[in-house]
Chain A
Amino acid sequence: GAGVSQTPSNKVTEKGKYVELRCDPISGHTALYWYRQSLGQGPEFLIYFQGTGAADDSGLPNDRFFAVRPEGSVSTLKIQRTERGDSAVYLCASSQIMGNTEAFFGQGTRLTVV
């Protein structure tokens, strides 16, 4: 596609429910990143994929969070037993080669846990 696509754009869920957030990166981009931005804060790193494998998942806050990228393209961020503190904008970005090439961001998924 023309850019990074994230779905849904908005998600409201009840505390304790399971949610999946999808990221469709730019075709051919091998690197894919998930970030979370809570109100009043900068983007917080969650996980980075190089191809199909998670090269760095040190930013995942706890074991309720999990992400996959089974075919090296689309990625799904999964959150189990959601809590109100999980409410944030979840941003996905992709890039061709890490480092000195820019990352392209999706428009984010705004998750609200009520």
Chain B
Amino acid sequence: ILNVEQSPQSLHVQEGDSTNFTCSFPSSNFYALHWYRWETAKSPEALFVMTLNGDEKKKGRISATLNTKEGYSYLYIKGSQPEDSATYLCAFSTGNQFYFGTGTSLTVIP
């Protein structure tokens, strides 16, 4: 069983604050690291797929970085908005299977 850890487990921020959270994964058998956003009553939606050490991806106010040598990825949200409230899941891929973290639950307070 591969261990993928996310921290913090939950987070409350004020609207307009910037925030970040972490996904830690094994540094061996790495193929790709995925970030998903999961809003209540909806299906998880892919944010980023990262494959190369040092990768940085950006989508609007959300960005992510990847360090495969030390086994971590950061997700950043700049100027949080209430619509950013969701659970953010990371998934480590070995090339033939995904291993999910337990997610970070973000609540943005208006």
Contacts and interface: CB of A to CB of B under 8 A. Distances in A.
Interface of A: 3-4, 33, 35, 41-45, 48, 55-56, 91, 93, 98-108
B95 A43 contact: no
Q: Of residues B6, B44, B45, B103, which shows the largest number of chain A Cβ atoms within 10 Å of its Cβ? A: B44
B34 A98 contact: no
A3 B43 CA distance: 10
Interface residues of B, number: 26
Contacts of A93: 44
A48 B102 contact: no
A104 B46 CA distance: 7
Q: Chain A's interface: helix, strand, loop or mixed, by majority?
A: loop
B102 A105 contact: no
A99 to B, nearest CB: 5
Contacts of A98: 93, 95-97
Given A4-B43, A108-B43, A41 B93 contact: no
Given A99-B93, A107-B43, 19 more contacts: A3-B43, A4-B43, A33-B98, A41-B102, A43-B100, A44-B100, A45-B97, A45-B98, A48-B97, A56-B96, A99-B31, A100-B49, A102-B46, A102-B49, A103-B34, A103-B46, A103-B91, A105-B45, A107-B41
Contacts, number: 60
Interface of B: 4, 6, 31-32, 34, 36, 41-46, 49, 51, 89, 91, 93, 95-103
A48 B100 CA distance: 14
Contacts of A106: 43
Nearest to B35: A102
Nearest to A56: B97
The 5 closest A-B pairs by CB, nearest first: A42-B102, A102-B46, A105-B43, A100-B32, A43-B100
